[in-house]
Chain A
């Protein structure tokens, strides 16, 4: 990438909690007493059972949801300032691409909003297309692409303005297993090339372990941090990494922490997936 190397962001949460007010007075506490530190350049996964508030937490970091209590620092600033300064890019499970824009113009959207001129935008779009290996598709429309390709465009868009932080909310959740594994590998490559910090929300233990430098395990609702597992697998990680003994040890460790966090039902689902992977 020809851009100036970015200074990756650090994220710091202290005592963060979020309570959603319900109708008729009954509220839901999504997360409570979250203390979390994400170092610059790290790849941190948030994993937990459904409803544990991991997506909410991601949105708190992005200032898309205001916490009920606690403080959030992103890139050395309060979260809302980081959002205003556009310090992060975000990728959702749905690619959220605009049908009326071509791939190129979808990627260029944040650049337009930042006021970049046409030439500069075109150059960056080309770079991003190369990064996500979609060169040649700039003139296509989103509905002409497969799900995996759309998600790659979404990633390209999120990184187009070289943010210090990348937030990802189960971005590969809607894709099939094979596409998912391949995109995992590509994401790691992209991460290393771009140098940003990544906070990644997922349902999948194996994905979390494969991708991250650290896995943060959350309990069932109300979500708390019940474990932080450092992933000491060597970089760069490849297809073979998934078959190393250490990989399975780490997966087991994460699963244990999940179970302790009261994720019994969800865990059954996880175990099924894991069993299939092992086959």
Chain B
């Protein structure tokens, strides 16, 4: 039985793989924009239904100083919400996994809380923390972040092979050691799944939370709502593009962190030896 050493791809190979990974998505983006421009022009679609990409681009340029400032501010609200929601979610998942009876008691309420729509609790948070205080927006984003992170991490903490627990028992390991050495490392891929979902939700939460009031000069969400109401759709779309780009950027940042933390994970790289 011959054992071939595992081959890790060289630089050229990696570059080629990167093109293969991202090429199709980039092609769809470019093709989509070109098709959009073409269709709207050819079919003469009304501006208030769907503006042309070129119009959106000029709206982006005209409003750039506002969009950049409000975009970054909104992004920080999203990050704040992500950190708060994520921290609470991780702490909750750890507690629920550690003390199972507590989990059985509290999980139904966590699920119910998750079902409350944003338009219900957003005004309440605005009242509690202050409409102008960015913390109120972070809190709203945090609520959206909480559930996916918590439930994924909980799953990761508890979906440990029973033999693994028996193994730790055979080492006379206590709960704490089992958590540290087995459950927590096991939960990391699950946690990152949750965090990736949450990064996008945090951005959405930050933007939508601004629909319910706040300082105009820093509200990307309000800008979208306002411009749409005035039928200035090119400007609304420009703001949407900014929000989406920031959301995607956030997602990619988390993916990069995941790649380095989960270097060992089978999905990251590697070929089996036989």
Contacts and interface: CB of A to CB of B under 8 A. Distances in A.
The reply, when asked whether chain A contacts chain B directly with Cβ atoms under 8 A, is: yes
Interface of A: 59, 62-64, 83-86, 88-90, 92-94, 96, 98-101, 109-110, 113, 140-141, 143-146, 149
Interface size, B (range) = 20 to 34
A9 to B, nearest CB: 14
Nearest to B264: A100
B216 interface: no
B177 interface: yes
Nearest to A62: B170
Given A113-B177, A144-B6, A145-B273, A96 B164 contact: yes
B135 interface: no
B39 interface: no
A92 B272 contact: no
B266 to A, nearest CB: 4
Nearest to B6: A144
A169 to B, nearest CB: 8
A146 B272 contact: yes
Given A98-B181, A101-B264, A144-B270, 17 more contacts: A59-B166, A83-B172, A90-B167, A92-B167, A93-B163, A96-B163, A96-B167, A98-B186, A99-B264, A109-B181, A113-B173, A113-B177, A140-B6, A143-B270, A144-B271, A145-B273, A149-B273
Contacts of B6: 140, 144
B166 A92 contact: yes
Given A141-B264, A146-B274, A98 B182 contact: yes
Nearest to A85: B172
Interface in B240-274: 264-266, 270-274
Nearest to A146: B274
Contact of A88 (B170, B188, B273): B170
Interface in B163-203: 163-164, 166-167, 169-173, 177, 181-182, 185-186, 188
Contacts of A100: 185-186, 188, 264-265
Given A94-B163, A144-B6, A64 B169 contact: yes
B47 interface: no
B170 A83 contact: yes
A146 B274 CA distance: 6
Contacts of A89: 170
Interface of A is mostly: loop
A52 B254 CA distance: 50
B25 to A, nearest CB: 28
Given A98-B185, A146-B274, A86 B264 contact: no
26 contacts: A62-B166, A62-B170, A63-B169, A64-B169, A84-B172, A85-B172, A88-B170, A90-B166, A92-B166, A92-B167, A94-B163, A96-B161, A98-B182, A98-B185, A100-B185, A100-B188, A100-B264, A101-B264, A113-B177, A140-B6, A141-B266, A141-B270, A144-B6, A144-B272, A144-B273, A145-B273
A64 B166 contact: yes
B6 to A, nearest CB: 5
A113 B171 contact: yes
Contacts of B270: 141, 143-144
A146 B2 CA distance: 12
B1 to A, nearest CB: 9
B274 to A, nearest CB: 6
A83 B171 CA distance: 7
Given A96-B161, A96-B163, A113-B177, A140 B171 contact: no
Nearest to A92: B163
A146 B170 CA distance: 25
A185 B161 CA distance: 28
B153 to A, nearest CB: 15
Contacts of B169: 63-64, 83
Contacts of A64: 166, 169-170
A110 B171 contact: yes
B273 A90 contact: no
A156 to B, nearest CB: 14
Contacts of B185: 98, 100
B165 to A, nearest CB: 9
B240 to A, nearest CB: 40
Which 6 A-B pairs give the minimum distances between C-beta atoms? A92-B163, A143-B266, A100-B185, A84-B172, A96-B163, A90-B170
A99 B266 contact: yes
